[in-house]
Amino acid sequence: MQTNKRLKMTSHVKAAAMIGMLLSVSISAAVQADSWRGWNVHPPSYPNGKALESFAKEVAEKTDGRVEPKVYHNAVLGDQPDAIEQVRSGALDFANFNMGPMGPIVPATNVLSLPFIFKSPEDMYRIMDGEIGDRFADALAKKNLIALSWFGSGARSLYNTDHPVKTPDDVEGLKFRVMNNDLYVQMIDEMGGNATPMAYSEVYQSLKTGVIDGAENNYPSYESSGHYEVAKYYSLTEHLILPECLCVAKASWEELSDEDQQAVRQAAEEAAKKQRQLWEESVQKSRQKVLDADVKINEVDDKSAFQAKMQPIYDEFIQEHPDLESLVTDIQAAQK
Ligand code: BDP
């Protein structure tokens, strides 16, 4: 039988054991499933929520119930930076994390946050599924995060409560919420605006009360968070195409037998496939929903005008992290 370091004895089992000892009857210890707790920032209806649910189901099936994962949606277990720490320490067993807020913990992942580094979500998938993706997984593993597969999150664009952004000049004077990463503060700064890092859960209220004028995200998040209700101008800057991981805590991973690791990895790969399939459909649905709610969507006049503003970020980044230059150039070379 599969042995598991986390054997949990319930009070019933303990009582039974005592009775067994008293009666000098040998009883075999009952093995309870290893209950895994998983974090998700999104609602269960979001593609990532659905993919995590199917991951949980597959893991339970493929391990014959030795691992029983449960997903906690809507960030009820904490905001993303906090949840990353919880998975790193093993307090949580798995999660779907965006690579944006991962930067302060795993510097290599900041390469993925360089604006416009990926030309399209398809390029991002192809590159992350190959040898370059493995280099990011290695960097994550050094920080106790086992990345088993990569989810997509489309392209992020700017939105605000005041006016359409068509050129970098239109960004001036606007204050945007960004994810927890100084690179994004610099990104908005270079575009000509102001930025403040803030938890995702606080953005809606902050837009409503005018603490910020805007934020940036993909269509499904812009819609499911309700931000579109208050920030009606969505401008297609498409400045970030960020991968997300399905990550397992190193502590939880190492408790698994080889066979169960194999099963969990397979379930994670299937979950990523499902998430990517659901993604496109979700983009279209969200786009339609926000249009029906009178959101004004606009193309920017010239994307390369925004892109040109990002050069100092690349220059500084490579100067500060010479060891990461090859990752940047390899990603660029893979898209030529
Ligand atoms: C969404 C990501 C999620 C982030 C959120 C944000 O999927 O992980 O927490 O953006 O902006 O697109 O914080």
The 3-state secondary structure of 282-315 reads HHHHHHHHHHHCCCEEEECCCHHHHHHCCHHHHH
CA distance 325 to 160: 34
Mean pLDDT for the stretch of residues 94-113? 98
Three-state DSSP class for residue 179: coil
**Beta strand 244-249 pairing with 233-240:** unpaired
Q: With helix as H, strand as E and coil as C, how does 116-164 read?
A: CCCCCHHHHHHHHCCHHHHHHHHHHHCCCEEEEEEECCCCEEEEECCCC
Torsion of CA 208, 213, 240, 280, to 10 degrees: 40
Handedness of CA 158, 78, 86, 57 (dihedral sign): negative
In the chain, the percentage of residues whose pLDDT exceeds 70 is 90
List of E strands, 152-291: 156-160, 175-178, 194-197, 214-217, 233-240, 244-249
The atom of ligand 1 lying closest to the CA of 215 is: 11
Does the structure show a pLDDT above 70 at 248? yes
Selected residue with higher pLDDT from 219 and 33? 219
Question: Furthest-apart CA pair in the chain: how many Å?
Answer: 83
Report whether residue 160 contacts ligand 1, using a CB cutoff of 6 Å: no
State the distance from the centre of ligand 1 to the C-alpha of 46, rounded, in angstroms: 12
Please tell me the residue having the least CA distance from ligand 1 atom 4.
Answer: 98
Please tell me the residue having the least CA distance from ligand 1 atom 3.
Answer: 98
Sheet architecture: strand order including 296-299: 194-197, 175-178, 214-217, 156-160, 233-240, 296-299
Domains, the chain:
33-150+244-267 (3.40.190.170), 155-241+284-333 (3.40.190.170)
Q: What is the pLDDT of residues 108-139, one digit of tens each?
A: 999 999 999 999 999 999 999 999 999 999 99
For residue 201, what are the CA distances in angstroms to 185, 287, 297? 18, 21, 24
Q: What is the pLDDT of residues 276-324, one digit of tens each?
A: 999 999 999 999 999 999 999 999 999 999 999 999 999 999 999 999 9
Pocket test for ligand 1, best of 96, 112, 157, 221 (most atoms within 8 A of CB): 221
Three-state DSSP class for residue 255: coil
For residue 281, what are the CA distances in angstroms to 236, 261, 289, 291, 295? 18, 31, 12, 16, 19
Indicate the angle between helix axes 258-292 and 47-62, nearest 10 degrees.
Answer: 160
DSSP 30: P
State the distance from the centre of ligand 1 to the C-alpha of 242, rounded, in angstroms: 10
Selected residue with higher pLDDT from 306 and 3? 306
Mean pLDDT for the stretch of residues 80-84? 98
The atom of ligand 1 lying closest to the CA of 96 is: 8
What is residue 31's predicted lDDT score, i.e. its pLDDT? 58
Report whether residue 113 contacts ligand 1, using a CB cutoff of 6 Å: no
Report whether residue 235 contacts ligand 1, using a CB cutoff of 6 Å: no
State the distance from the centre of ligand 1 to the C-alpha of 30, rounded, in angstroms: 41
What is residue 5's predicted lDDT score, i.e. its pLDDT? 40
**Beta strand 296-299 pairing with 233-240:** parallel
Burial class, 188, CB count within 10 angstroms (exposed 0-12 / middle 13-18 / buried 19+): buried
What is residue 33's predicted lDDT score, i.e. its pLDDT? 80
300's CB contacts (< 8 A; 6+ apart) are 165, 166, 167, 235, 236, 237, 306
Q: What is the pLDDT of residues 31-81, one digit of tens each?
A: 568 899 999 999 999 999 999 999 999 999 999 999 999 999 999 999 999
Report whether residue 181 contacts ligand 1, using a CB cutoff of 6 Å: no
What is residue 8's predicted lDDT score, i.e. its pLDDT? 41
Three-state DSSP class for residue 68: strand
The atom of ligand 1 lying closest to the CA of 154 is: 12
Three-state DSSP class for residue 247: strand
Judge whether 73 and 49 are in contact, CB under 8 Å: yes
Report whether residue 217 contacts ligand 1, using a CB cutoff of 6 Å: yes
State the distance from the centre of ligand 1 to the C-alpha of 159, rounded, in angstroms: 14
